[in-house]
């Protein structure tokens, strides 16, 4: 029997066929193992990327919501500070404004030659009271009066200043400034609303703020 015939006989014998089948199965198993390993690696990498992406989104949301943390406490604190400001800095009445201006004019001392009071139109939590005043006195006294306005416990805001004359050491100044009243106190003051028809004469001179000591 030739070698070829002998190899063919052994190959197609039950043992040979089993060996071939085992070899094919082994190769298939190895290939499947490699494929599963590659798929698992790709899936694992994808999961890591997904987790990293979710963590980044979470951190972004935390940063965005950080200002809202403790918002209730911040609102309560703001309301308390507003209430304290109203109690300490907002005059309780129109007469309190006159009294404060008279005190500051006396400390200057300056002479308030004309003071016109009006309510600003519109309303809200507070109503603006605008004052247009003429002052006369020496330069130092006028600056002392202006500084007194800005540092006063009563809340005053200087809007504009204009020099209107100077003679023999006396300076004449036009001063526009504002303070605020609560709407009910502003309504009770009887002051005219700016831009509305006036039914009462201009308030000036004879009030406590009309003339310095």
pLDDT in tens, 115-126: 899 999 876 789
pLDDT at 148 over 90: yes
What does the alpha-carbon distance between residue 133 and residue 155 come to, in Å, rounded to a whole number? 17
Say yes or no: 102 and 160 in one domain.
Answer: yes
What gap in Å lies between CA 57 and CA 55, rounded to an integer? 5
210, part of any domain? no
Question: Which residue range forms the structural domain that includes residue 55?
Answer: 3-63
Give the model's confidence band at 160: pLDDT under 50 very low, under 70 low, under 90 confident, else very high.
Answer: very high
How much is the pLDDT for 206? Answer: 40
Checking if the pLDDT of 195 tops 90, the result is no
**Residue keyed to tokens 């002998």:** 6
Write the DSSP assignment of 109-165 as a string of letters. Answer: T-EEEEEEEEEPSS-SSSEEEEEEEEEEE-HHHHHHHHHHHHH-SS--EEEEEEEEE
Residues 57 and 143 in one domain: no
Question: Rounded to whole angstroms, how far apart are CA atoms 20 and 14?
Answer: 10
Say yes or no: 56 and 127 in one domain. Answer: no
Does 50 share its domain with 112?
Answer: no
**92 lies in the same domain as 152:** yes
pLDDT digits (tens, 9 = 90+) for 49-64: 777 778 788 788 777 7
Q: How many domains does the chain have?
A: 2
Give the Å distances, CA to CA, from 86 to 81, 99, 126, 154, 177: 9, 18, 9, 10, 19
| Residue 48 shares a structural domain with residue 93 | no
Per the model's pLDDT, the better-predicted residue between 32 and 97 turns out to be 97
Asked if 51 contacts 141 with a C-beta cutoff of 8 angstroms, the reply is no
What would you measure as the largest C-alpha separation in the chain, in angstroms? 148
Predicted local distance difference test score (pLDDT) of residue 142: 92
Q: Is the pLDDT confidence value at 199 over 60?
A: no
Co-location of 109 and 163 in the same domain: yes
Neighbouring CB atoms inside 10 A of 95's CB total 13
* 56 and 94 inside one domain: no
Report the run of H or E that residue 18 belongs to, with start and end.
helix 14-65
pLDDT score at 1: 53
Q: Looking at per-residue confidence, does 102 or 73 come out higher?
A: 102
């Amino acid at each position: 029997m030739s070698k070829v015939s002998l190899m063919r006989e052994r190959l197609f014998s039950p043992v040979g066929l089993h060996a071939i089948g085992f070899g094919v199965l082994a190769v298939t198993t190895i290939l499947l193992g490699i494929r599963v390993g590659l798929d698992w690696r790709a899936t694992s990498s994808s999961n890591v990327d997904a987790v990293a992406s979710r963590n980044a989104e979470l951190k972004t949301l935390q940063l965005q919501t950080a200002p809202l943390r403790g918002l209730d406490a911040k609102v309560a604190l703001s309301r308390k500070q507003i209430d304290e400001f109203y109690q300490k800095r907002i005059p309780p009445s129109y007469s309190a404004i006159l009294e404060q201006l008279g005190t500051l004019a006396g400390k200057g001392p300056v002479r308030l030659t004309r003071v016109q009071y009006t309510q600003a139109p519109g309303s809200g939590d507070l109503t603006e009271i605008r004052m247009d005043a003429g002052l006369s006195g020496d330069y130092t006294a006028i600056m002392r009066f202006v500084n007194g306005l800005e540092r006063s416990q009563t809340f005053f805001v200087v809007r504009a200043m204009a020099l209107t004359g100077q003679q023999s050491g006396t300076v004449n100044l036009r001063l526009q400034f504002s303070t605020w009243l609560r709407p009910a106190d502003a309504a009770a003051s009887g002051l005219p609303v700016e831009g509305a028809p006036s039914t009462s004469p201009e308030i000036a001179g004879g009030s406590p703020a009309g003339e310095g000591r």
